[in-house]
Amino acid sequence: MEVAMLKSLISRILLQCGMDLRRAASVPFGVRWHEDIRFLLQGQKLETVFDVGANIGQTALTLARNFPESRVFSFEPIPSTFARLAQNTGREPRIEAVCCALGSEPGSGKMTTEPLSVSNTLLVEPQTNPKTPVTDVNIDTVSSFCAKRGIQRLSLLKIDTEGYEMNVLKGAERLLVAKQIEFVLCECDFFRRNGEPHGDFNAIWQYLSSLNYHVVAFYSGGVDDLGWIWGDVLFRLPRDGQRGRVSCSPFAR
């Protein structure tokens, strides 16, 4: 059997098993955000990270595995979900779980509290079903928290807050304007659906582009008949006077 036919057969078998076989250098940007960030860092460290909307620690643990030098602050305001987050990340000293939400200004707000749900939101009305449990949560801002903890710069601000993304960004404005946040990873949608609150891409893009942030890649999380339902978008603040190598793949060497 010819090599090309054998490779094709193996690929088809793996696809039937839910796996994809390809050369690493052919994997494009927009597949794994942490690999894209690693490539763009060009050997520099990913240091302080804010994981806003941490849920049970999925993103924090991904960061800990891939960036051993990182210090991750994971923000999760729902007490039951926070308890699982603290449990899952408790053995990793570089991850600090913080039981509060982040928004545009300090205070408090009402938030849906489905146990361990990835869809809890501070946008309680009009999306909330009357039967959905709601609780009061504490809200801080990125800028305020950084000031209190003496944090001068963020390598990455990751936001997954079910439609509250712009509020989080507004609360980080002092650092964004001062060019003290290099990467921003936001969950976004392009077309609003009932019961599916996500950050509006157009609003987020317009706001960040006005501060000189550029889109790096899109990471689709789900689609339906109307197209993109949700997914993450990676933005990056270009470094002054620096041009990196050009590549079609973050895995290229």
Query: Over the stretch 48-77, which tens digit does the pLDDT of each residue have?
Result: 999 999 999 999 999 999 999 999 999 999
Rounded CA separation 240/17 (Å): 46
Residue 21 counted as domain residue: no
Domain count of the fold of the chain: 1
Residue 164 counted as domain residue: yes
**Coil, strand or helix: which one is 109?**
strand
pTM listed for this prediction: 0.88
Residue 16 C-beta-side C-alpha neighbours within 13 Å? 6
Residue 250 counted as domain residue: no
Structural domain boundaries enclosing 155: 36-236
Per-residue pLDDT of the chain (253 residues; tens, 9 = 90+): 576 677 777 777 767 777 777 777 778 899 999 999 999 998 899 999 999 999 999 999 999 999 999 999 999 998 889 999 999 999 999 999 999 999 999 988 887 766 655 666 666 554 555 667 777 888 999 999 999 999 999 999 999 998 899 999 999 999 999 999 999 999 998 888 877 788 899 999 999 999 999 999 999 988 888 888 889 999 999 877 666 667 888 887 6
Cite the beta strand spans of 35-190 per DSSP E: 48-52, 71-75, 95-98, 101-102, 107-112, 134-140, 154-159, 181-189
Give the CATH number, domain containing residue 192: 3.40.50.150
